[in-house]
Amino acid sequence: MKVTRVETMAVNVPLEVPFLAGNLVKTAPHAILQAYTDDGLVGLGYCFSISPKGFNSMKAALDDLSEELLGENPLETERIAAKLHRAFSWEGPFGLFNMVQAAIDIALWDIAGKAYGQPLYRLLGGRRNRAPAYFSGALWRNFSPSELGQSAESIVKQGWKAMKMRLGGEQRAEDEVRRAQAVRSAIGDDIQLMVDINQGWSPPQAITMGRRLEPFNYYWIEDPVPHQDFAGSARVAAALDTAICAGEYHYGKEPFLRLIGEGCVDIAMIDLLRVGGITEWRKAAAVAETYGVPVASHLLPEVHAHLIAAVPNGLTTEYMPWSIPLFKETPALENGELVLTEKPGHGLELDMAAIARWKM
């Protein structure tokens, strides 16, 4: 089997709930790859950015690197990864290269699933056919406390048993506590609640705030300090009873050995795009498994659910619905879990009507 043709496209997906990341982010531009084989199989992969200027470079890199697939056996994911690294050796590894490599790797694993007639989760080990998940597409920092409470109630009514909010944007600790109280009061004690700081605190501030937030029973505190501060994260993790979750900002599998080995995290969060695709995601998860550390996912729940379901230390899937509108069907929520398809590959099919509306 050989790849005979590749096609790429750019699609600007509107976000149902805009959020602040410096500016107000209203769309998520995606770069999509379809790889065609001489056996008639088609693999679908994609990556995205929330930066328009960064996306232009991402799409150009995908155009260039995807041509390296031509004539290759798509089942040889390790050999193709090595070829891509050679092609991008001056500019990479990591950064933009990882995200583009991930889009290609996702397409290759999609082809592999179709070639063997198996859904991705089973191809990767098949530990279970569903993955625990939490809702992450709301409860932003630009919400007032009353808006946070109303949105949290709505999430519970949709059937979610876990959700994540954001803190770290207030100058006064009392205002952070007020926001936490608004959400916990709205959802009660039985709903699992995570909080993401997005690197917004210093280590001393994270320790102080972590103790202030203990009454709200957070399942984890995510990225409390800048991701480069391994020593600071280890200090925070050692000082607090609440679990510390981090890893989404790190590129490749290598940083996870340090994050976990130096006690920086209790839960490792692996970003499928930044780690470099499914092939590398599995390796990062294996590093965590070796230390007895559970792994959570970041973004792309429609693919990540397969990975969390497949590995023995898969904990939960972040349901951030930025890419969901691109597809005809995605994993359905049932009793707090995403139920995986039995279709071969990742089971995703582009919604061509949506593509036509949003194509760039």
Q: Reduce the DSSP state of residue 125 to 3 states and report it.
A: coil
- Structure-token pair, residue 169: 């944007």
Is residue 214 within 8 A of residue 180, CB to CB? The reply is no
Where exactly are the structural domains of the chain? 3-117, 121-339
> Which CATH number applies to 121-339?
3.20.20.120
- pLDDT, one tens digit per residue, over 322-349 is 999 999 999 999 999 999 999 999 999 9
Contact 304, 94 (CB under 8 A): no
Tell me, what's the pLDDT at 205? 97
- Domain 3-117 identical in fold to domain 121-339: no
Q: Rounded to 10 degrees, what is the CA torsion of 78, 79, 82, 84?
A: -100
Sequence letter at residue 357: R
Residue type at position 338: L
Residue in the block written with tokens 């949105």: 151
Report phi then psi at 16, rounded to 5.
Answer: -65, -35
What tens digit of pLDDT does each residue of 214-242 get? 999 999 999 999 999 999 999 999 999 99
| Tokens coding 122 | 């089973």
Contact criterion met (CB below 8 Å) for 272 and 298: yes
**Per-residue pLDDT at 21 exceeds 90:** no
Q: Report the chain's terminal Cα–Cα distance, integer Å.
A: 32
Beta bridge partners of 164: 194
pLDDT band at residue 92 under the 50/70/90 scheme: confident
Task: Give the strand pairing for 267-271 and 295-298.
Answer: parallel
Residue type at 199 in one-letter notation:
Q
Q: CATH top-level class for 3-117?
A: alpha beta
Closest CA to 222 of 194, 263, 254, 259: 194
Residues 258-297: tens digit of each pLDDT: 999 999 999 999 999 999 999 999 999 999 999 999 999 9
CB 139 within 8 A of CB 148: yes
* Rounded Cα gap, residues 344 and 111, in angstroms: 9
Tell me how far apart the alpha carbons of residues 134 and 160 are, in angstroms, rounded to a whole number: 7
Q: What are phi and psi of 203, to 5 degrees?
A: -55, -45
Kindly provide the b/e burial profile for residues 126-157, where b requires at least 16 CB atoms within 10 angstroms of the residue's own CB.
eeebbbbbbbbbbbbbebebeebbebbeebbe
> Which residues are 297's β-sheet partners?
270
Q: What percent of the chain has pLDDT over 70?
A: 100
Collapsing DSSP to helix, strand or coil, 22 comes out as coil
pLDDT value at 127 more than 80 = yes
